[in-house]
A and B are shown apart, each in its own frame.
Chain A
Amino acid sequence: MVLEATMICIDNSEWMRNGDYGPSRFQAQADAVNLICGAKTQSNPENTVGVLTMAGKGVRVLVTPTSDLGKILACMHGLEIGGEMNLAAGIQVAQLALKHRQNKKQQQRIIVFAGSPVKHEKKTLEMIGKKLKKNSVTLDIVNFGEDDEGKTEKLEALLAAVNNNDTSHIVHIPAGPNALSDVLLSTPIFTGDGEGGSGFAASAAAAAAGGISGFEFGVDPNLDPELALALRVSMEEERARQEAAAKKAAEESSKQEKGGEEQDATMTERASEGASEADNKKNEFLALAMSMDEPASSHDLQDTEMSDAATEDPELALALQLSVQDSAKDSSSQADMSKLLADQSFVSSILASLPGVDPNDPSVKEVLASMQSQSEPQQKQDEDKAPKEEDKK
């Protein structure tokens, strides 16, 4: 909980209109500034933060270091973009502003957002850095936006001139899907000089991590644990099925064209897409059961069943269609699979483990019954089909 007076230097030059970060570079910057102000004031109530703009008509101090967060947020409104950033002047004015801080015991810190090209010489920046070091001012540089020749070097040189015991930092943030403020959360700018992220930063980081981008399935486990669980289980089942399918395909590849394998994969893909919601969990399982049970039936059989199924579930119809295209399959492995599925206890155990699927549900019971009844004639059918297929071939 370092007692600090911070001046934030914002870049509001023309380069900030670019939209490669967030809604626009300027917006991303504004969000980051809000976050920093909040974090600083929360970590120590006596901390003060001030803001100044570096571009436009000239360096302009918007608010002198104050602990009033409302004032800081208010002054961020109505800022205009334009002109060129004057980095040297900005840092120097920030230093002057810090000189006039009310509590002389506060540590002086400047945070610079360098988004546009730096037109100053390396020497100038180094001299400024030395002056800052002499006045024991620490500097944090956020390098984002434009990346022209020499900018990174100049900023690194500036940092090296200022740095004293590793209290100053520089972070390079490339354009990407993550928001500027989210990336900043994990940097030493937020986590402080080894003091560890205060409660604010830690909770903000957790919220950001659980947020939309970058999270599996796009669902926050805190918001909807059941949905997240259902999705995870479905994913695992899908993986297991794909492995089984892959094994089968490997066996068949010697007998069948590669097209079958691909179709298998696409079928599982499409089935998994459709089953991304917990509601379709049942349908997926049904599709699995159906597709496994009816792999090598004759066309006539399939047509009638397809027409039945098509009325109920279009995905089911699709799955059936694809399985029809798999003309010759290894019946023995199929029989194993279907035997497994026909095993009532196994099936019910799977069903029980699925959230949202109640084994006592009448429709599920129906499927089980139909599967059981099918498993017996299935074996007969398989035996019949085997000679049939050989005839066809």
Chain B
Amino acid sequence: MDVIKTQQISPRPIEKVIVHPLVLLSIVDNYNRVAKDTRKRVIGVLLGTSFKGTVDVTNSYAVPFEEDEKDPSIWFLDHNYHESMFSMFKRINAKEHVVGWYSTGPKLRENDLDIHRLFHNYVPNPVLVIIDVQPKELGIPTKAYYDVEEVKEDITLVVKITPFSPANSSETLA
């Protein structure tokens, strides 16, 4: 409990995101069963631990998600499902917390910022990981993002999603 509290009080800026293979497998499997030949994407929650600026993503699950293709501002994510699911996961491994969420992309979309804001309710600095389920080239199929608030010249607050530098996102192989 103490670890969480210090995290919440002073969220340390994340420098590294490590994605474990189980996560990749379950995401790809889910995508193949649900949205394989469609243009729809799958969204889910990432569980793991965060320690000294490094996030270890160890588990994940998909959540019911719908969005309107024509109007990106219309979307629905079942957060009741997420809350129930997370409380059950917590029973088997109390150390796993919500660290962020994932999307099968393949690229960033307009409503990602809104969805990211929703996850601020569950974790102080959530991480978005875009998993490329149909990679064309060899390489790391993940891209990690986080959000920053910037004050522009005309004193407006802007929230942007920016990627971690590629060198800092890594993947462990079994």
Residues on A close to B: CB < 8 A? 58-59, 61, 63-64, 66, 89, 92-93, 96-97, 99-100
CB distance from B162 to the nearest CB of A (A): 23
Q: How far is B77's CA from A97's CA once the two chains are assembled, in angstroms?
A: 8
| B interface residues, tally (CB under 8 Å) | 15
Looking across the interface, which residue of chain A has its beta carbon closest to that of B114?
A: A58
Q: CB distance B73 to A58 under 8 Å?
A: yes
A59: B residues at CB distance < 8 A: 74
CB distance from A286 to the nearest CB of B (A): 69
Q: CB distance A64 to B74 under 8 Å?
A: no
Looking across the interface, which residue of chain B has its beta carbon closest to that of A64?
A: B80
Q: CB distance B114 to A93 under 8 Å?
A: no
Could you list 14 A-B pairs, sorted by A, with CB under 8 Å? Answer: A58-B73, A58-B114, A61-B76, A61-B77, A64-B80, A66-B80, A89-B71, A93-B74, A93-B76, A96-B66, A96-B68, A96-B74, A96-B76, A100-B66
Q: How far is B77's CA from A58's CA once the two chains are assembled, in angstroms?
A: 14
Which single member of A66, A92, A100 contacts B74 (CB below 8 Å)?
A92
B153: A residues at CB distance < 8 A: none
**B95 within 8 A of partner (CB):** no
Q: How far is B76's CA from A99's CA once the two chains are assembled, in angstroms?
A: 10
Q: How far is B73's CA from A63's CA once the two chains are assembled, in angstroms?
A: 19
B68, B76, B80 pick with most chain A CB within 10 angstroms: B76
Q: How far is B81's CA from A25's CA once the two chains are assembled, in angstroms?
A: 32
CB distance from A69 to the nearest CB of B (A): 14
B114: A residues at CB distance < 8 A: 58
Contact (A64, B78) CB under 8 Å given A58-B73, A89-B73: yes
Looking across the interface, which residue of chain B has its beta carbon closest to that of A60?
A: B118
Q: CB distance B71 to A92 under 8 Å?
A: yes
Q: CB distance B74 to A89 under 8 Å?
A: yes
Q: How far is B67's CA from A92's CA once the two chains are assembled, in angstroms?
A: 10
Q: How far is B68's CA from A163's CA once the two chains are assembled, in angstroms?
A: 23
B81: A residues at CB distance < 8 A: 64
Q: CB distance A100 to B73 under 8 Å?
A: no
Q: CB distance A99 to B79 under 8 Å?
A: no
Looking across the interface, which residue of chain B has its beta carbon closest to that of A71?
A: B80
**B53 within 8 A of partner (CB):** no
Looking across the interface, which residue of chain B has its beta carbon closest to that of A50?
A: B80
Q: Other than A96-B66, A100-B64, give 12 A-B pairs with Cβ distance below 8 A.
A: A59-B74, A61-B76, A61-B78, A61-B79, A89-B74, A93-B74, A93-B76, A96-B67, A96-B68, A97-B66, A97-B76, A100-B66
Q: CB distance B71 to A100 under 8 Å?
A: no
A93: B residues at CB distance < 8 A: 74-76
A64: B residues at CB distance < 8 A: 78-81
B78: A residues at CB distance < 8 A: 61, 64, 97, 100
CB distance from B72 to the nearest CB of A (A): 11
Q: How far is B68's CA from A64's CA once the two chains are assembled, in angstroms?
A: 18
Q: How far is B73's CA from A61's CA once the two chains are assembled, in angstroms?
A: 14
Q: How far is B75's CA from A96's CA once the two chains are assembled, in angstroms?
A: 8
B76: A residues at CB distance < 8 A: 61, 93, 96-97, 100
Q: How far is B173's CA from A92's CA once the two chains are assembled, in angstroms?
A: 43
A99: B residues at CB distance < 8 A: 66
- B residues 61-114 near A (Cβ < 8 Å) are 64, 66-68, 71, 73-81, 114
